[in-house]
Amino acid sequence: MWSIIRERLRQGYRTTPFPVEQPNLPEEFRGLPIIGSQDCLENCQRCAEECPTEVIQIIKQNTDEANGPKQGIQIDLGNCLFCTICQDNCPVEKIKYSRNHSLAATSRNDLMVREKKYPKVKALQEQMRRVFGRSLKLRQVSAGGCNACEADLNVLTTVVFDLSRFGIEFVASPRHADGLIVTGPITRNMEFALMKTYQAVPAPKFVIAVGACAISGGPFYLSAEQNNGLDQFLPVDLYIPGCPPHPFTILDGILRWLEKIKASE
């Protein structure tokens, strides 16, 4: 017993101070891609051609009457694998993956990132926040996932992140839940189970899509055995992109949605 107490004292306070303090992420962390203002090379489409999930679009923007429209880039974070191939292949370094972990959005369209346009989370309406802001119970559904997103959700329940200190908990039964948090590409074999689980959650209820697979199909988006995104079946209230998203990205998105982190922070 004394050895356990000594070890506990040696380890000290292990819970992250986030969101009071910003997380200390490793140098290897790949966060929000920043699209610079520099001009692309004429007719260059190397980033779009090399992207494994075809999430980059070449667009025309910032129309100038003198010089005409400028070639720009749009990245769909909803299906981005954060592999940095686009960054590595851009000859003018127009795309740069930052260490910004705030990637979530409440609208699918807000995951379309381009120059000076980045994801944003709209907080729940005040009445809903009064009901669920202090106690939110979620039933996690793995709809054919590889266990990466599921593992990062599980990490949130450990002493380091301690999700329950915000009143947020994962529950075993959908009948005890306020909503679903879904991972995986929604395979054909999981359609029925997912819908039955959703129907078992009492209203009003929420749906959170975690990871590229749940949002758009991820690396499987062209497969006939999945459905290209959770919003093909259910109304999604919060999108948290990544492959997989970092636990801080998941926590940040949910807390902004509940307005436990203000938009200006």
* Whether residue 154 has pLDDT greater than 90: yes
Residues 214-243: pLDDT tens digits?
999 998 888 889 988 999 989 999 999 999
Q: For residues 225 and 234, what is the distance between their CA atoms, to the nearest angstrom?
A: 18
Give the chain's domain count.
Answer: 1
Decide if 29 contacts 101 (C-beta within 8 A). Answer: yes
Is 74 inside a domain boundary? no
Encode 70-106: b = buried (16+ Cβ within 10 Å), e = exposed: ebbbbbbbbbbbbbebbbeebeeebbebeebbbbbbb
Average pLDDT, the chain: 90
Percent with pLDDT over 90 in the chain: 68
25-34, 55-64, 123-132, 252-261: range with lowest mean pLDDT:
55-64
* Whether residue 62 has pLDDT greater than 80: no
Decide if 101 contacts 247 (C-beta within 8 A). Answer: no
* Whether residue 264 has pLDDT greater than 70: no
Q: What's the pLDDT at 133? A: 76
Is 119 inside a domain boundary? no
Q: For residues 3 and 142, what is the distance between their CA atoms, to the nearest angstrom?
A: 39
Q: What's the pLDDT at 85? A: 94
Tokens of 103: 């990637």
Is 196 inside a domain boundary? yes
Is 67 inside a domain boundary? no
Q: What's the pLDDT at 265? A: 53
pLDDT top residue among 74 and 7: 74
Mean pLDDT calculated for residue range 35-45: 87
Assign residue 183 the CATH number of its domain. 3.40.50.12280
Is 48 inside a domain boundary? no
Is 245 inside a domain boundary? yes
Pairing relationship of beta strands 56-64 and 68-76 according to DSSP bridges: antiparallel
To the question of pTM greater than 0.85 for the whole model, the response is: yes
Is 198 inside a domain boundary? yes
Domain that holds residue 170: 126-257
Q: What's the pLDDT at 261? A: 83
Q: What's the pLDDT at 79? A: 94
Closest CA to 179 of 156, 161, 197, 165: 197
Which helix (H) or strand (E) segment is 79 a member of? none
Q: For residues 3 and 128, what is the distance between their CA atoms, to the nearest angstrom?
A: 47
Tokens of 40: 């692309």
Q: For residues 221 and 217, what is the distance between their CA atoms, to the nearest angstrom?
A: 4
* Whether residue 126 has pLDDT greater than 70: yes
Is 232 inside a domain boundary? yes
Residues 165-198: pLDDT tens digits?
999 999 999 999 999 999 999 999 999 999 999 9
Residues 23-32: pLDDT tens digits?
989 989 999 9
Hey, is 93 helix, strand or coil? coil
Encode 132-168: b = buried (16+ Cβ within 10 Å), e = exposed: bbeebbbbbbbbbbbebbbebbeebeeeebebeebeb
Q: What's the pLDDT at 102? A: 96
* Whether residue 63 has pLDDT greater than 70: no
- Helices and strands in the chain: count of H runs, count of E runs: 8, 10
